[in-house]
Amino acid sequence: MTRMLIVGPPGSGKGTQASRITRTYGIPDISTGDIFRANIKNETPLGLQVKAIVDAGDYVPDSMTNELVKDRLAQDDAQNGFLLDGYPRTLDQVHYLDELLDSKGQRLEAVIQLVADQDEIVSRLTKRAEEQGRADDSEEAIRHRQQVYLRETSPLIDVYRDRGLLVEVDGLGEMDEVAERIRAALTERGILPVGDRAAVSDESVA
């Protein structure tokens, strides 16, 4: 039962690490962005509502996001754990997730925070934008997204730090290096990869 969140600034490689974490720990990567896109593509009632809101240039309200996440966490593949990516984004969503998990007798085990120097990320993303010819991805725009991330996530990170759930990991470096840092940090907290859990179980039986 491994229930975790992952947070990190744009350009920190969060999506890549999320995919690796889900393979390593045998849990689904639940991204709110993916949930929104799937519901819109399948034209579900919620998906149609979300599409109308997004097309109008508005933010999807917490209540709707909460419903989508609740529905996703009720699916079979999420019963033995999950990695949430992109949720919660507000303190109200934090409280909703608390209540949802409490109602099932469940709790979060860790919140992985990828930490990266802002100037380093901006330099990396600016260089990538130049290489890909993305003139609209200016340094100013990239810095703005970084500031929005910091403003939105700081209150959430403080909450999870106070609860002792925050696992801070250096997000800069090669993908394999960062993945190993995450694995080592989680192992320290007693959160083991699928293969290691099976080995521990076998030893305890023996």
Residues noted as catalytic: 14, 89, 128, 134, 145
Alpha-carbon torsion (91, 167, 34, 9), positive or negative: positive
What number of other Cβ atoms are within 10 A of residue 146's Cβ? 20
In the chain, at which residue ranges do the beta strands (DSSP E only) sit? 2-7, 29-31, 81-85, 110-115, 166-170
Distance CA 56, CA 130 (A): 30
Distance CA 183, CA 62 (A): 32
